[in-house]
Structure 1
Amino acid sequence: MSAALPTFADLAAGVAGGVLSRPRIAIIGAGSSGMAAAAEMLQRGLDPVLFEARAEPGGLWGKDPLSALYPDLVQGAAGQLPLSQPGPGSWAAYTEQCLDTIKRQGLASRIFTSTKVLCVTPSLHDAGADLLIASADRAAAPLLRHFEHVVYAGGLYHTPQMPAIAGAERFAGRILHSSDVRDLSRFVGQQVLIVGLGHTALACAAKLFPVAQQLLLSGRSPTWLVPRLLHGTPIDVAMRALKETFRHSYQARLWDACREHGALGHAVDPSSHEIDVGRQRITVSDSMLGPLRSGMVPLRPALAQVDQRTVWFADGSTCQADVIVCCTGYQSQAILAEGSEQPQQLVGNVLHARYPGLWFTGAPALWGSPAPIAKKQGRLIAHAIAMGWRRDELAQAVRPYVNYDKAATRLPFGFEAADFNGYAHMVDQASAEPSGEHAPLADDPVDYAG
């Protein structure tokens, strides 16, 4: 697949020949989020180029991805493009689908593979940022280029985040990250503690439950464990329907529906008669609800400390463990220049509040992003750039639809962003042309690899 796409050598040649003087927009990452944003930009006459560190595009679902994901992690990223979501072992087929989509959407000459952005230096005064771009193998001299707009679509799943566990140096067993849960034979007959109650934790639990001698889960945040379907409807669809129909009693009705279907609350106020999705995590799992409700897989509070084979929890209880699996997410990539990484609330969940022209796309929502979210974000970014929107205009456009009072989720580089409720409606309203069609390309497409 990579033979059909340009590389860093082509980029360097294009810069030397003056071909790359025209693009105003750089997209970091050619996964589904980056390609969705680029496709939306092309439809509005914008001129993006994409830089992909891997030899092939595809992001999470590409063959041999540059991430610590385990192969059968369930993600909706593939659904952000008009592609079918792959199952385990189908990465190669998905990669071929990506190439077909790239060709059809006119992206083939705009994606530079084996090309890594080493550093982004944003400007406080002029829009955009300087990008230090190099070949993935660092075999050639890097390039420094300025772009008026930079869209980060590099994903969140590169460097595992391991928590600081008191007494870890004395623990006689193994402490692993969820990305290391691959060879299940390593867990046969073991006493396993899973730290975390998110989707990854429940996916790991489903894999380890049949082989472990004992399995426990530890969670520190209020969490509702819910089934995939409510009255035969996928839970995300059911939640939207409830919210639209019962705006004022939405939380209580959601609680009733989930309770009827065997939902289980962990560290949630037992006197509460509602599910507050702004302050309580919702984790979807069909396979583990039965074992958890029956007590076959005990739920414990936050892990406090470990020593030898003993684990202490926040309530003073203990258990024995041979393996601790930390389902604690991934670290942000340090790509911004030193001194730039100051926490900021993103405007509209896509634009940096401090640096004009610095955009973000592809981040998950609080309890599992619906598949089209990156396509929606890409549409919003493309429309805002095409219309020349600044911070105030973008904030005004999204204010009626985005609830900034919801709990925040961590985005790359330490920035905070509110959840994405209302994105589907907001983006459709903001980006639709009066004729129902997108603006044509401003000029003939440029072959940046030529």
Structure 2
Amino acid sequence: MDGLPVAVIGAGPQGLAAGAHLLERGLEPVVFEAGDGPGAAVAAWGHVRLFSAWPELIDPAAARLLAPAGWVAPGSGYPTGTEWIGSYLAPLAGALGERVRYGTRVVGVSRQGHDRLVSAHRDEAPFVIHAVDPDGVETRRLVRAVIDASGTWRQPNPAGADGLPALGEQAAVAAGVLSYLPPTPAQAAALAGGHVVVVGSGHSAMTTIIDLAAVAREAPGTRVSWVLRRGTVGDTFGGAADALPARGALGIRSRQAVDDGLVELVTGFRVNRVDLEGGQVVLVAEDGRALPPADLVVAVTGFRPDLSFLSEMRLDLDPILQAPVRLAPEIDPNVHSCGTVMPHGARELAHPEAGLFLVGMKSYGRAPTFLAMTGYEQVRSVVAALAGDHQAAARVELTLPNTGVCSGGGLADETAEAAGSGGCCAPPVEVLSIGRAPASA
């Protein structure tokens, strides 16, 4: 397989960084991207400002690849998704050139001549990438290894509290009154004077709340309801305890919106039914409570990985998170109340299918709080392992910041309340003073 390329699935931040690392190691990448350009998922939330600063959003190998062409890394500040693409991801994709195949969706990964059951000489067989090209023609490509950096963006979690869409949820989506994307500034402004419901407690929900609170401040008749599934709040919103100040500011500002009366916080509300009433939408909880009719429901409750095209691969995934089993204990919100994870690489991301790695957001399965710098460390280690440099693969070259966020989504109410009482998520001793806080992502 020495003459075959390494397949990278996804031309997002981690996929493109993997391409740069592969070239630096003398390995040829071929990048399959379903979208029509680099960072297609990032483009979908391009108006949102990241809470990571520029130095944390640029992979070192990517910077080295770009430098000979005169590219200069932005030195400071917090870019929007659109700015991240324009100033970094697009130039990086350009440096990789025709190695990136846009409009090409991977629909299957297999081993040549081996289905999932066949073990004999399996590791010696090339992988086969089954893809559909921009013309709708199915293609096959032999590769020596596979780095799946396809992310989770196309697989949002539903508003339904039991992991499946609530009754009527899909009809509400079709009617345009329930969305899984934070509204753009123009969309938020158009909701002035109406009622908006936000479901979720993560950084995307906080970003949405901050933007809608600004609309409510300018248009006092605007009503914003913030729905949390858990019955207690505790230190869920983090704050000054976060080692990334811009991310911590999200929690502070969203909580301030509640304290200022711009947002109504609804706790212990687990969505069971979504009713359409005269062009509006009504959420009904498992306990029978119903919210007032809303013009829009924004469900930002996280994402999950698409494993369908890996059905012929031998994966070792945690049964709860759908993350690699060696990584799962570090990121499981049922185990850790604070969203901090140790740096990790090829060893933790390996599967029984030799040569296959899930990296980036997809490697976290259903767990939250993923950082770009975590993914860059992952691909550095994985590519080193593929190149046979196992010493570099095992080396840790990253120190991750504490999130300061307690009480993961899997925690019961009483556990969440206890988790907010101390430890790594102790209440902040000072409050950040910040003007326009960069938003999430």
Both proteins in one fold, TM over 0.5: yes
Kept in 2, the 8 Å contact 1:33–1:77? The answer is no
Which residue number corresponds to residue 220 of structure 1?
A: 229
| CA deviation after TM superposition for structure 1 residue 97, in Å | 4.0
The whole-number CA distance in structure 2 between the counterparts of 1:207 and 1:195 is 15
Kept in 2, the 8 Å contact 1:26–1:51? The answer is yes
- The change in CA–CA distance for 1:321 and 1:339 in structure 2 (over 3 A counts) is farther
1:90-169 alignment runs, 5 A limit: 90-91=82-83, 94-95=85-86, 97-101=88-92, 107-122=96-111, 125-126=122-123, 129-138=127-136, 141-163=137-159, 164-166=165-167
1:18-417 alignment runs, 5 A limit: 22-61=3-42, 65=43, 68-69=44-45, 71-72=47-48, 74=50, 76=52, 79-81=57-59, 82=63, 83-84=73-74, 87-88=79-80, 90-91=82-83, 94-95=85-86, 97-101=88-92, 107-122=96-111, 125-126=122-123, 129-138=127-136, 141-163=137-159, 164-166=165-167, 175-179=177-181, 181-182=183-184, 183-209=187-213, 210-211=215-216, 213-221=222-230, 224-226=235-237, 228-230=239-241, 235-236=242-243, 284-294=250-260, 296-300=262-266, 301-306=268-273, 307=275, 308=277, 311-313=283-285, 317-322=289-294, 323-333=296-306, 335-338=308-311, 340=313, 344-345=317-318, 346=324, 347=326, 351-363=349-361, 366-387=367-388
Kept in 2, the 8 Å contact 1:160–1:330? The answer is yes
| CA deviation after TM superposition for structure 1 residue 341, in Å | 8.3
CA deviation map 1:206-256 (0-9, x unaligned) = 2222246221211224763436544xxxx2358xxxxxxxxxxxxxxxxxx
The whole-number CA distance in structure 2 between the counterparts of 1:339 and 1:113 is 24
Identity of aligned residues (%): 20
- The change in CA–CA distance for 1:158 and 1:166 in structure 2 (over 3 A counts) is closer
Structure number with bigger Rg: 1
Kept in 2, the 8 Å contact 1:56–1:113? The answer is yes
CA deviation map 1:345-390 (0-9, x unaligned) = 424665352322111222176553333112101111012212276x
**TM-score for the superposition, normalised by structure 1:** 0.59
The whole-number CA distance in structure 1 between the counterparts of 2:150 and 2:132 is 15
Select the structure that is richer in strand: 1
- The change in CA–CA distance for 1:153 and 1:409 in structure 2 (over 3 A counts) is farther
SS in 2 for 1:319: coil
Kept in 2, the 8 Å contact 1:178–1:200? The answer is no
SS in 2 for 1:23: coil
The whole-number CA distance in structure 2 between the counterparts of 1:161 and 1:336 is 19
Which residue number corresponds to residue 66 of structure 2?
A: none
Unaligned runs of 5+ in 2: 64-72, 160-164, 319-323, 327-343, 401-405, 411-441
Amino acid at match of 2:265: L
Runs of 4+ displaced beyond 6 Å:
169-174, 406-410
CA deviation map 1:267-326 (0-9, x unaligned) = xxxxxxxxxxxxxxx994332121224554232212344455654445665431313221
Kept in 1, the 8 Å contact 2:199–2:226? The answer is yes
Would you say how many aligned residue pairs link Structure 1 and Structure 2? 328
Kept in 2, the 8 Å contact 1:195–1:303? The answer is no
**TM-score for the superposition, normalised by structure 2:** 0.60
| CA deviation after TM superposition for structure 1 residue 107, in Å | 2.8
Q: CA RMSD in A?
A: 4.4
Amino acid at match of 1:177: S
Amino acid at match of 2:10: G
Which residue number corresponds to residue 443 of structure 1?
A: none
SS in 2 for 1:236: coil
